[in-house]
Amino acid sequence: MQRFTKYILACLILILSGCAEQWLDRKPQNIILEEQVWNDTKMITGLLANYYDRLPAHTSLTTGWAEFAAYDEAMWSNNDDGRNNIVSYPFDRWRLWDYGLIRDINLAIENIETFGTSLSAGQKAQFSAEFRFLRAFVYFELVKRMGGVPLVTKQLIYDFNGDPSYLQQPRNKEEEVYDFIASELDAIKEQLGNDGSNTRANKFTAMALKSRAMLYAGSIAKYNNLMASPISTPGGEVGIPASRAADYYAKSLAASEEIINSGKYSLYKTNPNLGENFYDAITKKSANAEVILAQDYLVSKDKRHGFTYDNIARNVREDNLSSSSITPSLNLVEDYEYLDGTPGTLKTRNAANTDYVYYDKMEDVFANKDARLYGTVIYPGTSFRGTPVQIQAGVKVWNNASGSFQNVESNTLGATYDDGGLLTGSSGPQRSQTEVTNSGFYLRKYVDQTAMSSTRGIRSDMWWVRFRLGEIYLNAAEAALETGKTANALKYVNVVRERAGFGANSLKTLTIERLQNERRVELAFEDHRVWDLIRWRTAHEVWNGNASNPDAVIYALYPYRVVRPGHPTHNKYVFDKLVAPRFRAPRFFQMGNYYSSIDQAIIDNNPKIVRNPFH
């Protein structure tokens, strides 16, 4: 009986206390409500971090990094030959239709107004501005791949009436999207805050995006209409009238000059060794006033990536697998000029092309080259992390009877020849092996120098630079040149060249071709090459799929040690240029690649979406 009373008592307590605390109305422990998010600056910042992290990139250190090996900057020397054998770029290669992210940002912009009751007006304005920056960034990524896309700036809500057609928005004109980006960035730039930050957007980050976007719009307006048959759709979803070019270039120049003249940023010039300095300019994460916006990583917080593991030079790798994936091409190496301004073609044969040029040391063939070559590429005779990267294909043994050299190569890395000297370098190159360079070069830019960063256990926290002042100078130079302000263009491009070891005012005249090459060498492996060729409308000529077009084929450079005892050339080095042995199909960019195809499912859902040309 006593026990029974106890139970009743217990039940009563439960029921009563439950009622008092509204047992059924408790706040959930696993769902964060809108009111909670939009009144807590920490949570809003967390959300922002998520959106920054989701910003699209074609190639970065984490997203699509392997595609650096799919153009003419590099080839692929790891396992599989996919990127060396791209018969033609598929029409959906650069496809992007990330309205999931656009919607998330639109929701954020609306919800911070609706629910952010305890935020100050200033805080609200700043966060909204940052969301709008991110949205402009995403729209730029969309327009540069797809042409005009529907500009959706509010959340679309379905009312379940059975007819969704009122939600189906047609594509905006290509120029309208670029105009939207420009007006958004102008509207928010003063509200962004984040002064001095290089991982969150501030006023100058907005201007950096505007500088790039307006330059793209201007060059599409100009160069598309110079084509034998301009790419366009009747509704202007693709193609910008030529008359808009000057306006876009002027806007780009103004945005670039706002950054340059602000004095907040400066080219990185801390290291007296110019080659090392250029590497540091992109990879040093502290005291670097050049970087405007970067995607940062941190090993201790488990925010890290395997880019160094996959791309470090073979004989300095710390893991027992991978390495050597992206290996720069001879094409890129030769595009770095000599410091006296002459074209960068490597002198491997004598003037009459009857004999090799013999070098005492391997690095001598690269002497007096643009310092950016060292900062971008590991070439024969250089080191990484203080360890020499041994790149030697084999030896050339002189045959007195035939009066010619015979190649001796070994497929054992680091093998020794009969004379006791080195036969094959511990970093290759190898003609058919994987995980060792096939082109004779290794990547330096973005490969981490930190010890153990090439192991799978630790990995790397190298950051990915989205905008830096070096690009802004080149944007300014191009926009100035295209609008006839050649003196200004020369001023800006020469600043960038001076940092690379060219003297002050190294260029006296400027052509667009020269500037195009300057972008190629300064911004290699920074996700610019393919987009630059697309906006200049030269991609289909540079990569025309023709095996006899040297630009469409990846070349390699194989160093050999001469074995000719008793002769002055004995133990000197010679170089063979050859089509990279593992390279298969010449790069082939078709007209239908200028704008990526739109997924059929999207057209099915919204018949107002017009197809891109050639698809």
* Interacting residues with other proteins between 217 and 256 (CB under 8 A): 227-229
Q: How many residues bind other proteins (CB under 8 A)?
A: 23
Instruction: Quote the least distance from Cβ 90 to other proteins, whole Å.
Output: 11
Cα–Cα distance for residue pair 12/62, rounded to 1 Å? 59
For residue 353, state whether it binds other proteins (rule: CB under 8 A).
no
Cα–Cα distance for residue pair 371/377, rounded to 1 Å? 10
For residue 606, state whether it binds other proteins (rule: CB under 8 A).
no
Nearest to 465 by CA among 590, 293, 587, 607: 293
Q: Which two tokens stand for residue 195?
A: 């002064």
Cα–Cα distance for residue pair 248/182, rounded to 1 Å? 9
**Member of 15, 484, 607, 608 binding other proteins (CB under 8 A):** 607
For residue 170, state whether it binds other proteins (rule: CB under 8 A).
no
Instruction: Quote the least distance from Cβ 84 to other proteins, whole Å.
Output: 13
Cα–Cα distance for residue pair 148/386, rounded to 1 Å? 49
Residue with tokens 């805080």: 123
Cα–Cα distance for residue pair 200/493, rounded to 1 Å? 27
For residue 604, state whether it binds other proteins (rule: CB under 8 A).
yes
Q: Which two tokens stand for residue 138?
A: 């995403």
For residue 546, state whether it binds other proteins (rule: CB under 8 A).
yes
User: 261 near 472, Cβ under 8 Å?
Assistant: no
For residue 404, state whether it binds other proteins (rule: CB under 8 A).
no
Closer to other proteins by Cβ: residue 88 or 569:
88
User: ∠60-62-68 over CA atoms, to 5°?
Assistant: 45
* Interacting residues with other proteins between 525 and 544 (CB under 8 A): 540, 544
Q: Which stretch binds other proteins (CB under 8 A): 43-51, 328-336, 379-387, 587-595?
A: 587-595
Instruction: Quote the least distance from Cβ 165 to other proteins, whole Å.
Output: 14
Q: Which helix (H) or strand (E) holds 578?
A: strand 573-579
* Interacting residues with other proteins between 69 and 98 (CB under 8 A): 87-88
Instruction: Quote the least distance from Cβ 329 to other proteins, whole Å.
Output: 19
Instruction: Quote the least distance from Cβ 241 to other proteins, whole Å.
Output: 20
User: 111 near 38, Cβ under 8 Å?
Assistant: yes
DSSP-derived letter for residue 305 is: B
Cα–Cα distance for residue pair 122/533, rounded to 1 Å? 42
**Member of 161, 548, 565, 566 binding other proteins (CB under 8 A):** 548
Instruction: Please state, as a whole number, how many other Cβ atoms lie within 10 Å of the Cβ of residue 273.
Output: 12
Nearest to 476 by CA among 263, 148, 249, 157: 249
Closer to other proteins by Cβ: residue 9 or 226:
226
Q: Which helix (H) or strand (E) holds 603?
A: helix 600-605
Instruction: Quote the least distance from Cβ 610 to other proteins, whole Å.
Output: 13
Instruction: Quote the least distance from Cβ 127 to other proteins, whole Å.
Output: 41
Closer to other proteins by Cβ: residue 125 or 579:
579
Instruction: Quote the least distance from Cβ 576 to other proteins, whole Å.
Output: 16
For residue 547, state whether it binds other proteins (rule: CB under 8 A).
yes
Binding site for other proteins (CB under 8 A): 87-88, 227-229, 540, 544-548, 585-586, 588, 590-592, 600, 603-604, 607, 613-614
